[in-house]
Amino acid sequence: MLIAEEFLLLSRTEDTGKLRASAQHVRLAVCGALLVELALRERIGVTPHHLPWRERDRITVLLERTTEDRILDTALIEAVKFAGHKPKDVLIRWAGGKVGKGLADDLMERLVTSGILDHERRVVLGVVPVDVYPERDPQPERAVRQRVDAALLGAEPSQATAALIALLVATDMLTKVISDETDKKAARRRGKEIAAQAWAGQAVKDAIAQINGAISAAAVVATNR
């Protein structure tokens, strides 16, 4: 399961399938999660911040080779088109257009097809159709939540779990998805510690940190539009 899919599971309530944040912010986070995954798999990078301003913080393509995942390959094809652009600009463009919608819809469809989520269309106020995705199989989401909770309580996270937690911190979603028994203040502190740890090679870690920073910045831009 991709980090973006794990984020989507955590971003919805288990019983009703309603989003815990705005659809715009969730889509932005999903697009960011796909860039993070591409960085983890060393398909893309981000130029260092210490370079001259015309060269710093720009997406670079490291390897144009299949990831063996159809949706992630689509994200890679789209990312290649934006080589040389800043992650924030890419995320805003993706999340606000057909690319982000298509990627998010494909991820949701795969979660439905795999039997993890149901897809229901309900009518709100008697006229407005709304798509909701309640859980059909709660085990995958519970497994993700257990990994996150364990890491927040002091366990050593896997690379994917650390990347997911860093994404949850960047999107300010961490305290919205943790278990009720978990202390929110301690979880926020531990989440920031994990995000700062060396759980990936330095170049990859730096790229992911820049992407997560871009998610936070793009979310502010989206909110103020």
CA 71 to CA 202: how far, in whole Å? 26
User: What pTM value is reported for the model?
Assistant: 0.91
Which domain covers residue 39, as residue numbers? 3-146+199-224
Does residue 159 form part of some domain? no
Residue 178 included in any domain: no
CATH of the domain at 46: 1.10.3630.10
* 17-60 pLDDT tens trace: 788 888 888 888 999 999 999 999 999 999 998 999 999 999 99
Note whether residue 153 is domain-resident: no
* Residue 165 domain flag: no
Q: Would residue 43 count as lying in a domain? A: yes
The pLDDT tens digits for 51-89 are 999 999 999 999 999 999 999 999 999 999 999 999 989
Q: How far apart are CA 171 and CA 213, in angstroms?
A: 9
User: Is the model's pLDDT at 224 over the cut of 70?
Assistant: no
Angle between helices 139-152 and 184-196 (to 10 degrees): 80
Per the CB < 8 A criterion, the answer to whether 105 and 97 are in contact is no
Contact status, residue 177 vs residue 20, Cβ threshold 8 Å: yes
Structural domain count of the chain: 1
